[in-house]
Chain A
């Protein structure tokens, strides 16, 4: 297990390197320049733009910029934004808890609801519950999260006034102020994910329940609860876990939109603004943080994968 974990961690390094390179290249491929935005668009003359670009170092060859940029971002100092008075790292660290709250809560809710529902659907295949879960998960996957967000705001926040409609309070202020503002965005983000995980769990469980070793567990007189949890689910988890890793990446994408809908000052909202302004430092830093969380989640997934699959662990 230790050797496997070390291998996964070593692989983490080149993955991070590739991700960083992609972040840099894709950001620079964006048409337009931060200088033009900074100086106020079309009306500024070309000479002025060139001069500021030179001052900022944007006129140098892209490779030179990259070689200088890479060690800097790895050391965590993400540079100075052209639009904020604070260093980028400080801005990002302020925003990170918002996005983490949203994506991690959504993932936890997805796991807590999706997996049991999927198991239940598989075990009670063809029952009313199975059909209802099927309809709900289709619906969840079909409804766009932003639309769901608007509906939730209108119904729960505006009409019923049960929960605040938008904004963010840090958890330090108190659990409820924080949680009450996270509930609706979490629902909006997790509903489509739940649909996915229910289906994934259901089909994997159906497959595993047909295997000979599950038949053997029954032939040994194991109670149905043990057959399902210990014998079937444990094996199904290998595939479910993989799906969870993918889901987190999907959730990050969804969070960018959800943060806009619920006016959450998270990384997604920051990245959107930075992209529009071609604010390279903030954009790159923001995506770097999101990438890092996704890579970490996948590292945990890989380790969990080994836990559930001894053939991987001992290979």
Chain B
């Protein structure tokens, strides 16, 4: 498989996923929900992983963390974290990495904090497990310090509160504090960290994210369906469709000139000044993501693609490197890139 743009950016990535295939066990045989994904996250890099719901993003994240649901399994591939292949590391050691050197900021702050445990307990237990040398008083102090760092007011009083006493934005701040409390995070996986929040809170949380990422010099895999979020934060973007990466590019290049018709569709469906002025309706991509169980021949996006030609239905395109160090999975990318370059030049 052809390497993606990461090789150019960093020498040894924090996370290097190669040819990862994940399947759900099913009566009729395994159903592949992630197919042959190559993705790396370099030191201090924020990589966005974009796709519709059902495209396999969250399962991909859970595979990295080693917390796949019981009916899912990694069929093949390599998940290298700081050089070691997590698939070859015993599960107990992977568990010790979780919450310590790699951490998760969850999607739903409303449901991902335990309703029966105090905020303080949920923060300090992470230290108890990963930093047993720290005493109880120091753990509490550290929890207060973290809450303060992520902008929770009255941090001392929050420790005694339960999640239902906090707003969604506050809960997400607590979740971020929980992810970073050990202070040794190398890879932060944020799975739709702002999706469940109000727009104003979203912006605050994203700002916090970027600030913390710089402060702590960690690498971030930011999973979202929202290209707007990517534009504000990420340096590099991988677009996932039906379990496959269809395009990987630097964020500026991607927004300036998307190569894959699906990426183009995603960008067109973003509300933008020019767009909104011209039309009352935002364009959307017709149809839905094909079922991973459906037999597939040719390009997974073919059925919804406005640029479909004969070959798209017959032969699946490979992820190929473009001239500018990007990669794209489309038979016609070159042709389309030329065409759109012309059109954009005209308008």
A residues contacting B by CB (< 8 A) are 125, 211-213, 215-223, 226, 230-231, 234-235, 238, 308-311, 314
Contact = CB atoms under 8 A, between A and B. Distances in A.
Residue picked from B112, B126, B162, B175, most chain A C-beta under 10 Å: B112
A256 to B, nearest CB: 37
Interface of B: 65, 67, 70, 95-100, 103-104, 106-108, 111-117, 125-126, 129-130, 162, 164-165, 175, 178
A310 B104 contact: no
A116 to B, nearest CB: 19
Contacts of B165: 314
A219 B65 contact: yes
Contacts, number: 79
A212 B95 contact: no
Residue picked from A219, A222, A238, most chain B C-beta under 10 Å: A219
Nearest to A311: B164
A212 B111 CA distance: 6
Contact of A216 (B70, B113, B164): B113
27 contacts: A212-B106, A212-B112, A213-B111, A213-B115, A216-B112, A216-B113, A216-B175, A218-B95, A218-B98, A219-B99, A219-B104, A220-B103, A220-B104, A221-B98, A222-B129, A223-B129, A230-B125, A234-B116, A235-B114, A238-B116, A308-B116, A309-B116, A310-B115, A310-B164, A311-B115, A311-B164, A314-B165
A-side interface mostly = helix
Contacts of A308: 116
Contacts of B98: 218-221
A226 B111 CA distance: 19
A223 B108 contact: no
A221 B162 contact: no
A212 B108 contact: yes
Nearest to A310: B162
A223 B95 contact: yes
A211 B111 contact: yes
Nearest to A126: B70
A177 to B, nearest CB: 43
Nearest to B178: A220
Nearest to A313: B162
Given A223-B129, A310-B164, A314-B162, A216 B104 contact: yes
Given A212-B106, A223-B95, A226-B125, A217 B162 contact: no
Contacts of B106: 212, 215-216, 219
A174 to B, nearest CB: 42
Given A219-B67, A220-B178, A230-B117, A213 B99 contact: no
